[in-house]
Structure formats: C-alpha cells, structure tokens
Chains A and B, each alone.
Chain A
Amino acid sequence: MLAYLVAVWLLLIGLYGVITSRHLVHLVLCLGVMQASTYVLLLAIGWRIDAQAPIYVDIPPRARVVDPVVQALTLTDVVVEATVVAVLLALSVQAHKRFGTCDPDALGALRG
C-alpha cells in the first residue's frame, strides 16, 4: 500500500515541479521524477509478500516469486524514458548554447 502512495506522490510532486519549473534541466529532471512513479507503480503491482526473485536456478520450482513480467516492463520503460530524457536534455543544452537561456518562461516565440 505504501508503495502505491509513493507512486502517486512521485507523480504529483513531479508534475508540480514541471509546472512551476524555472530551469529546463530542473524541468527535465522533474519529468524524470514523474517517470520514476511509473517504475514504482509497476514494481509494486508485481510484488508479493515473502516472495523471491524470479530466477529459478537456485530456488525450488514451486517457490513464491514476484511477477517477472512487470520487471521486464519496468526495464523496457527505463530504456524508453532514458531516451526521452536524453533527447530533452540535448534540446536544453542547445537552448542554452544558442540562445543563452534555460528558462522555460523565456520560451515564447510560439504563442497564440
């Protein structure tokens, strides 16, 4: 139960950060916090009390294990989100290099 609350908390606090951010790198990292909430949520869904890691090399085949599917999903998710963060950080670096600002509020060439 606690894990679900943590997931919700990470999602909301990350969203708050994205909305109020004054620096692009900060904003991208807040997005990373939101992404972390999906990892926590996925792992929490697969968790079982008193269960082991789902590696059947050295445990009996009938042992209680946590759900391996969500772990695979989390790994995929980490890869996907890392790509997104990399692209966003690259764009932020370009913004700083070319226009000398990292303030998202200074972005305003596109309006209306």
Chain B
Amino acid sequence: MSVAPLAVLVPVLTATLLAATSPVARRRVAGVVAVVAAIATAALCVATLVQARGGTIVVWFGGWTPRGGAAVGIDFAVDPVGAALAVFVAVLGVAALVMCIELIQVEDHLFDAIALVFIAAMVGFCMTGDIFDLFVFFELMSVCAYVLVGYEIRQRAPLEGSLTFAITNSIGSILLLCGISLLYGRTGALNLAQMGRALAEGPADGLVVVAYALVAGGLLVKAAAVPFHFWTADAYAVAPTPVGLLLGGAFSELGLYGLARVHWTVFHDVLAPHEAKVRAILVGLGLLTALVGAVMCCAQHHLKRLLAFATISHVGLFLVGIGLLSADGLAGAAVWIVGDGLVKAALFACVGILNDRFATVEEAELHGRGRELRGIGVLFCLGALAVASLPPFGPFVGKTLVEDAALKGGYAWVAAVMVVVSALTGGALLRVGLRVFFGRGRPAPRDAYSAGSDDERGGEDHEGEASLTRVSPLLWGPAVALVLASLAWGLWPGLVDAAGRGAERFVGTTAYANAVLRGMPLPAVASPLHGPGATGLLYAAASVLGAVGVALAAAAGIRERAPRAGLRALDGLRALHSGRPGDYAAFTAAGVALLGGLLALAIG
C-alpha cells in the first residue's frame, strides 16, 4: 500500500479541522497547524517519490482493480515526474503558509484551511490517473484559488482580479469537460491509460481534433498560454503575496503538466502519424507566449504584475520544452519548472516584503527606498539573474536541457529565441532590483495604466508600524530558503539522469498503460541525457549578459529614446489587456477555435 493518497488526505482533513475549530481556536495556532500539515504533506510526497522511482505506483480506490485490462475503478497512477511535481507543490505550500502567519491578518482560520485544500488539490492533480478526477482536482484548485485571490475583498482590485480569474477559468473548465465528454463518448473510458488504448484503435478524425482542441484549450487557460493568458496578470497582481507565490510558482505550470499527461497517455498513439505537425503547433504557441510575456514583462512597473508576465513568458518556454514532444524536452521542462518556480516564488516573497514595509509595489514609488533592505536586494538581483539562467542555479540546467532537445528535434533556432526571452524577463527583473534596492538609474516613469487606480496599490494587509522594525524572519526565511533550494536543485549531481529517466517513463505510453491496467512491471529505461555542456554555458552567458544589458539600458531610460512606432505597438498590446472578462472570454473562445483549426489543417 502506498502513502500517495495520504498526501491528499492529510491536508484536506487538517483543513476540515481548522474550519471546524475556527470559532474557538487562535489564529496563530491555526497558522502553525497549517504549516505542520503542509510539511507532513511534503514528507508524504517525498515518500511517494522515493517509492515511484522503483515503478509507477498504482492505487485503486476501494480495491476496484481492473478486470481483464479494463478499468472499473478510479486510480492514482504516480510516476516520478508527477511525484516530483507534487513534492515541489508541497514545498512551495510550506513556504507560502509560513509567510501567511506574518502577512495575512485575518480573524478566522478559513484562509489557512482554503490554502491547505488548494495544496491538496494540486497534489491530487499531479497523482491522479483518471481524466474525470483530473477535471475535479482542476476545479477544486481553481475554486480555492478564486477565493484566495479575492480574499482581500474590501479593495477593488482583488475583487476584480478574482472575478476575471473565475470567469475566464470557468470557461476553460467547461471547455475541458466538453472535451472529456467527447472522449468518453468515443472510448467509453475515463481512465487515462484505457482511454488512450481505445482511442488508438480508431482513426484520428474530427472528433479527436475537436476533443484535443477542447482539452488542450481548457488546460492552457490554466497554464496561461497566449491567447488564454489575460486573466493571469490581473489575478497574480492582486493576490496576497503567499498566494501569488503559489500561483506564480506552481499553478500555471500544473496546467502544462496536465496537458503533457493527457497528451502522452491519451492522444499520443492516435496522433503519432501527425506528430511533426502537432509539435510545430505547440512549439509555435509556446514561442508566441514566451515573446508576448517577455515584452509585456518589460513594459510593467507594477512589481507583481511584472512577475506575473515573467511567469507567462516562462510558461511559454516550458510549453516549447513539452511541445517538442520528446523525452529530452520534457525532462528539460520538468527540471526548469521546478528550478524556475523556486526562484520565482522567492521573488514573489521579496515583493511581499516590500509591500509589507512600504505599502506599495509601484516601481516609481519604491525607487531607492529599498536601500535599507540590502540583503533582500542582493537576494532579489540574484534571483533575477537566476531567472536569466545564471549557472549553476536550477533554471540554467533546465534551459540547457530544453535547448539540447530543440537542437536534436530540428528546432535549432528556438534556442536563440529562448536566449532573447530569458534576457528580456531577467533584465526586467534586474532593472527593478537595481532601481528599488540600490537606487540606480532614473526613477521609473509614472505608468499611464496604473496611475488611474490608486487602490490597485497595496493589494494586501500591511501594518504601518511594521515598517520601522526589522523584517520578520518568517518573511525573509522562506525567500532565502527558496533561492538556496533552487541553487541546490541546479547543483544536485543526479538531477539530469533522474529527470531523463523520469521523462522516458512519462512518455512511455504503452508501458504506462500496461502498468496501470495489467499491473505489469515497467521495462528498465536509460537516460540519454548528459549535463550542461559548452554550448549550454555559451547560451547561458548570452542570456545573463543580455539581461544585464537590458536592465542597464532600461534603468538608464531607454524608453524615452525608443522609436515611436515601437511604443505605439506596445501600447496596442497593453490595451488588449483590458481587464474586462467579456474580452477575455472572447479571446479564450477564439484561441480554442484557432487551436482546433490548426489541428484540423495539420491532420487533414
């Protein structure tokens, strides 16, 4: 018997306990209980990961094992990639809940309870082997996220962000469910493995195309790929910092995990003859997302919004890694997601510290005021450089692996685009670090977009008197720990090999189906990957130097000297992010239609 189900059960039960005792217990106690539960969840996930390295863990709830190769029950099927992602989510959860104790000043414990359910749903999403459970966990984590984002409901911006977030994501989940229904109608199965088997027996026809577009569209709404990304910046920018940390670090990436999981277990065999064209579509979508995200990131002066667009641009890069549809690309994306997620969570934590102290996250207002927080400043700049793939941090290893996979897959030019994107996002973050913590360069101009809404700033609780005291270790502790964790991730010697083997296992559709449906042992897999080579270092150097260049140029005020047409194009792009849920719904629908159309053309 595996401990995998406990990793979902423990946080859910603790959340119930917290909610039930909400009227009598003290908040501080509840916060500590929540952190302990999150640590227990992380430990259970680690135990699952250790077990999953031996073979895919399959747990049939209620003992309803498959009969004659057909699933009759509901299962958890945990392989190393899923388990590692669950560990990552749980670790971020611990960091977020530690910060909650200090930052979230509310009377009752419901916040901690909902945060725990959020973590449980994300862990369950990583482990499930059933497509309808995938949908249910997806909805559970979404609903928790809506509530957490809009927790500070007295202010206008969080309320609006939460509304937009909820409306856009509900449309996404409706599309996902329509896709699942169609697949069930064709295959009569809900188990991922069985669905893939049954689908492969039929042709790759219109139903498969529509179902793929609906399922991928629904999951990409969560992943925040262009043109489904509009809600992301609105939601992440207003979420309380600990929630932003979880959202920016793990939430979007889980959408991509879902896409990868469904692609390989369900669609891989039926689409195998058309793989090259599907690859082109996914890589193209990824690059578009990466570029749009990077450009928008540079244009922001609201720090949390800037981080949200950095997340979007990196989601694009991860999508490229996954979209290469090879084990190498997937391994790189997985390594990168964890390494980058840890750093980005740390950056969110730094911004949270700024917000807690100065009650604003506008770059212009913070200019030079962070000088007293020298340590945090160094941490922030280090994090920015790590995002731009500074060796030997985690993102560097992941990026190198994806570049190698792109070279091998015949997309050599993709590596060049990735360098540009990393340089732009890293540069934008570094620019913020230099300006805010070291007072370098000219102050940021007042931003026309955020000037009109004063209450956008200070999107969360903060206490005025706190600004005179030292920064609480409950705030800087998680930030330092997360950056160190990313460093350790990059330096871990067995990482590349483990990721390579995990990815080979992940893409082994037949072996997965046999393990789930017939309990057959997995064939041994070898990792063809090797660590970063000279080319990787060269690309990393280009990214990091590019980031420094972008940061210095931006801090020196290159914006005023930019060509008029470029600025107008940028304004046009920013105007598309109108904050109206109706527009976002239209873009989502158009995106799914586009995806379906492209797939239909590809499959013909």
CB <8 Å contact, B174 and A41 = no
Q: Residue among B136, B167, B237, B452 with the most chain A CB within 10 A?
A: B167
Q: Is B585 an interface residue (CB 8 A)?
A: yes
| Chain A positions 1 through 18: 1 when the CB is less than 8 Å from some CB of chain B, otherwise 0 | 000000100010001001
Neighbour of B132 across the interface among A11, A73, A83, A107, CB < 8 A: A73
**A87 vs B150: C-alpha distance when bound (angstroms):** 10
Q: Is B574 an interface residue (CB 8 A)?
A: yes
Indicate whether A110 sits within 8 Å of B181 (C-beta atoms), given known contacts A80-B139, A87-B143, A87-B166: no
**A37 vs B170: C-alpha distance when bound (angstroms):** 13
**A110 vs B146: C-alpha distance when bound (angstroms):** 16
**A59 vs B187: C-alpha distance when bound (angstroms):** 27
CB <8 Å contact, B449 and A111 = yes
CB <8 Å contact, B185 and A45 = yes
Chain B hits for A21, CB < 8 A: 582
Chain B 223-258 interface residues, beta-carbon cutoff 8 Å to A? 233-234, 237-238
CB <8 Å contact, A84 and B139 = yes
Chain B hits for A70, CB < 8 A: 181, 184
Indicate whether A111 sits within 8 Å of B579 (C-beta atoms), given known contacts A11-B178, A45-B181, A76-B136: yes
CB <8 Å contact, B139 and A91 = no
Q: Is B36 an interface residue (CB 8 A)?
A: no
Q: Which of B88-96, B157-165, B276-284, B552-560 contacts A (4 or more CB under 8 A)?
A: B157-165
Interface residues on A, range: 35 or more
Q: Residue among A83, A87, A99, A111 with the most chain B CB within 10 A?
A: A111
Chain A 81-98 interface residues, beta-carbon cutoff 8 Å to B? 81, 83-84, 87-88, 91-92, 94-95, 98
CB <8 Å contact, B163 and A41 = no
| Chain B positions 286 through 307: 1 when the CB is less than 8 Å from some CB of chain A, otherwise 0 | 0000000000000110000000
**A95 vs B146: C-alpha distance when bound (angstroms):** 15
CB <8 Å contact, A112 and B582 = no
Chain B hits for A35, CB < 8 A: 170, 174
Shortest CB–CB separation between residue B251 and chain A, in angstroms? 17
| Chain A positions 96 through 109: 1 when the CB is less than 8 Å from some CB of chain B, otherwise 0 | 00110000110111
Q: Is B403 an interface residue (CB 8 A)?
A: no
**A80 vs B573: C-alpha distance when bound (angstroms):** 35
Chain B hits for A11, CB < 8 A: 174, 178
Chain B hits for A107, CB < 8 A: 160, 163-164, 579-581
Neighbour of B162 across the interface among A27, A76, A81, A91, CB < 8 A: A91
Chain B hits for A34, CB < 8 A: 170-171, 174
**A74 vs B154: C-alpha distance when bound (angstroms):** 35
**A109 vs B299: C-alpha distance when bound (angstroms):** 17
CB <8 Å contact, B178 and A110 = no
12 extra interface residue pairs, beta carbon distance < 8 Å, beyond A70-B181, A87-B146, A110-B579: A15-B585, A21-B582, A69-B184, A80-B143, A83-B143, A87-B143, A87-B147, A92-B163, A111-B579, A112-B447, A112-B448, A112-B450
